[in-house]
Structure 1
Amino acid sequence: MLNRPQRIEPKPGQESVWDYPRPPRLEPVSGRLWIVFNDQVIADTENAYRVLETSHPPVYYFPPEDIQMDVLKSSPRQTFCEWKGACRYYTVQVGDNVAREAAWYYPNPVPEFAAIAGYVSFYASQMDACYVRGEQVDAQPGDFYGGWITQEIVGPFKGIQGSWGW
C-alpha cells in the first residue's frame, strides 16, 4: 500500500496540486512569465501554456517566438511521455554558462497537447531565476520533474523523498 501524502488545504486564491487531473490538462496562462540565465532574459512571454497534473506543480511552456532561440542548442536526448508523446531536449548556453538538457519540447505531441508543439519548457532549478506574474518561482523537487512552485500552489509535491509511487 502506498503511503499517500496529506493534502494541504488551499487558502483563497490558491490551488492544490491534488485537485489537478490525471491524465493532465493543458491550459493557457494569463500574465507575464520570464526566465533569466547568466544575467540575461532568455524568454519573456504573455502567451504561455501550463500543464496541470495530479501531485505536480504546473509546468510552463513558452512559444518559440518569445524565446531567444539562439541560446538553445539541440541535445541528442529523447524521452517519451505517456500523455504528451515524444520529447526532445535543449542545452541552454549564454556566454560561458551552460545548463545541459535544461529545456525540453514536444515536436509532435498527441492531439490533446497539439497547442504546445514546439513550445519550450525549462527546469527552474537550472536557471538563474524564473518568474510567473512577477513572482520568482521555486523548482519542483527532484531531478526528473519540471514544475514551477509559486505562492498560488500548495502540495505536497511529487519529487520529494518517498514520493516515487504517488
Structure 2
Amino acid sequence: MSDLPPENVQQYPRPPRIEPVPHLVVVRLGGETIAETTGAFRVLETHHAPSYYLPPEDVRARLDPVAGGSFCEWKGRARYFDVSAGGQRAPRAAWSYDAPSARFADLAGYLAFYAGLMEACFVGSERVIPQDGDFYGGWVTRNLTGRIKGARGTEHW
C-alpha cells in the first residue's frame, strides 16, 4: 500500500500545472544519495506520470552539460546533463529549464532526473518506477491510476 494519496493521471490538467511536493524526494546513483530535498516541485499533465524537479542546491552529483536540448510547448527550452556519482556516469540523465515560461518560472534552474537512468528514486517511502518509453521523464508511483502515456502507441494522444 502506498503512503501517497490516490491520483488518476487522466484527471491531471491540460495545460499542465506546477505544485510543491509535500514529501521527501531522494535520488541515488552509484551507491550515493545524489539528491535529497523537501523543496521539490512536480508538474502534472493529463495522462503523464508527474515529473519531479529538484532545487540545484540539493543535488550533489557531478552534472556535465551535453549538446542538444528539447522544447516543451508549456515550459520552453530544456538543456540536458550527464550525471556522475559513485564511479557511475548516466548519459543525458537530467534536464533543466534555465528560462522557463512565466507559468513555470519556479522551475528555473531546478533539475529533473530520468528515473530509469538512476539507481533509485523515491517520493516519500515510495520507490519510483520509470515512465514507459524513452522520451517522457515521469515518475510512476503505486498510487497512480489511469492510462499513463509513454508506451509504444501512446505518443500522440
TM-score when normalising by structure 1? 0.89
Q: Find out whether 1:101 has 2:92 as its counterpart.
A: yes
Corresponding residue number in structure 2 for 1:5: none
Corresponding residue number in structure 2 for 1:80: 71
Q: Which has the larger radius of gyration?
A: 1
Corresponding residue number in structure 1 for 2:59: 67
Corresponding residue number in structure 2 for 1:118: 109
Shift of 1:40: 0.3
Q: Do the aligned residues in 1 keep the contact of 2:31 with 2:86 (CA within 8 Å)?
A: no
SS of the residue aligned with 2:148? coil
1:14-73 CA-to-partner distances (Å, cap 9, x unmatched) read 11100001111000010100000010000000000000000001000000011015x111
Among all aligned residue pairs of Structure 1 and Structure 2, give the percentage whose two residues are the same amino acid.
Answer: 47
* Aligned mates of 2:35, 2:112 — CA distance in 1: 10
Superposition CA RMSD, Å:
1.3
2:117 partner amino acid:
Q
Q: Find out whether 1:40 has 2:32 as its counterpart.
A: yes
Q: Find out whether 1:151 has 2:142 as its counterpart.
A: yes
1:80-133 CA-to-partner distances (Å, cap 9, x unmatched) read 110000110110112431111000000000000000100000000000000000
Corresponding residue number in structure 2 for 1:17: 9
2:98 partner amino acid:
P
Instruction: Pick one of 127, 134, 157 that aligns with 1:136.
Output: 127
* Aligned mates of 2:87, 2:27 — CA distance in 1: 18
TM-score when normalising by structure 2? 0.94
Ranges in structure 2 where 5+ consecutive residues have no aligned partner: none
Q: Find out whether 1:58 has 2:50 as its counterpart.
A: yes
* Aligned mates of 2:86, 2:21 — CA distance in 1: 30
Which segment is superposed worse, 72-81 or 18-27? 72-81
Ranges in structure 1 where 5+ consecutive residues have no aligned partner: 1-11
SS of the residue aligned with 1:57? coil
2:132 partner amino acid:
P
* Aligned mates of 1:98, 1:106 — CA distance in 2: 21
* Aligned mates of 1:77, 1:152 — CA distance in 2: 34
